[in-house]
Amino acid sequence: MEITAAVVKSKGSKFELEKVNLEEPGTEEVLVRIVATGICHTDMVARDFVMGAPDFPVILGHEGSGVIEKVGQDVHHLKVGDHVVLTYGFCGECEICRSGNPAYCYTFFERNFSGATAEGLHHHHDHDGKAINDNFFSQSSFATYSIAHKNNVISVPKDAALEILGPLGCGIQTGAGAVINTLKIKVGSSIVISGTGAVGLSAVMAANASSATTIIAVDINDERLEFSKELGATHTINSLRENVPQRIREILPNGVQYGVDTTGRNEVINNTLQSLAPVGELAVIGVATKPLELQTNAFLTKGYKIKFVNQGDSVSEEFIPKLIKMYQRGQFPFDKLIRQYAFEDINQAVEDSEKGKTIKAVLIIGEYSK
């Protein structure tokens, strides 16, 4: 079938809306009419060839939401008409997946970053029949329709607006999951969250929903820091103007119990570690451009635990519906992060996201027909 997709033709180039051909879903796949798709930093990382290995041209997008239009013969838990959120791909069969850790699947890279299916096949072709790199996060949802594997298609309630649900598939579940699934923070605990983008602010909301009593947001953007208070932050620190460890010790003389880093920056991670109480725990999420260097001797007697976190350690089939219920109960107002854009304005949405004008951009694709 002919669809419209946003295609990146070379490293770092703009997205171009083009007509491409999409094949029929396989036996373990579903065809989804995309209603909306979030824009995530990981899309930009792949566009700029910082992470992942697909060649160009490529169709990205990995926070899709929509309605199932076809299911393969070996798909039994999903049906035509289901409202769904698309998340990351995993095999579901290896020992890692079966142990409840699908975000660390042995074939995670092949299913999410290789530019093809795990078998090396492509769903999209141009009008000359040439394959287009795709299957990004097993979905490539910067398009009017997407083919996804049955494992990464999550059925969601029909009374929840599909126009806002897509980001739950990656960025929002990542931040919230780092707090709820990875750190498992306790009622009345303290946490510092570095970076107030969509992932960091999702962590702030999750900490608030988990009844943490001290939630410290750290960033260099005063507007974002002020907004974090609306979502549950009890304290804010502008790291350009204040010494982060010193300021945290003023708030909590013995240090903070938990930390979440969304920046991947050496100095930020070390600042957080210097701010932790003994046996404190740090979840590291951010994509780094340089190797991590730690002040090991200073931390040797502290008993710190550092966990590198992918997808919020989420079993998405369970966690995404949980976040939706929290949202519907007013406990997790992630819609406050979202700004919607028309599909044809994708490059403006990307620019606004990269400049920090928009926290979480969502493309409304719906019935796009140009």
**Residue ranges of domains in the chain:** 2-169+333-364, 175-310
Residue-wise pLDDT for 160-198, tens only, equals: 999 999 999 999 999 999 999 999 999 999 999 999 999
370 pLDDT more than 70: no
Among candidates 349, 352, 345, which has minimal Cα distance to 368?
A: 345
Question: How many CA atoms does the CB half-sphere of 337 hold within 13 Å?
Answer: 32
Q: Do the domains 175-310 and 2-169+333-364 match in fold?
A: no
50 pLDDT more than 80: no
* Contact of 151 with 92, CB cutoff 8 Å: yes
| pLDDT level of residue 295 (50, 70, 90 thresholds) | confident
Question: Domain 2-169+333-364's class?
Answer: alpha beta
Average pLDDT over residues 113-124: 94
* Contact of 36 with 364, CB cutoff 8 Å: yes
Given this model, what pLDDT does residue 49 score?
A: 78
DSSP annotation of 183: I
Given this model, what pLDDT does residue 53 score?
A: 59
Identify whether 25 is preceded by a cis peptide bond (ω within 30 of 0): no
Strand (E) or helix (H) holding 125: strand 124-125
Per CATH, domain 175-310 is 3.40.50.720: yes
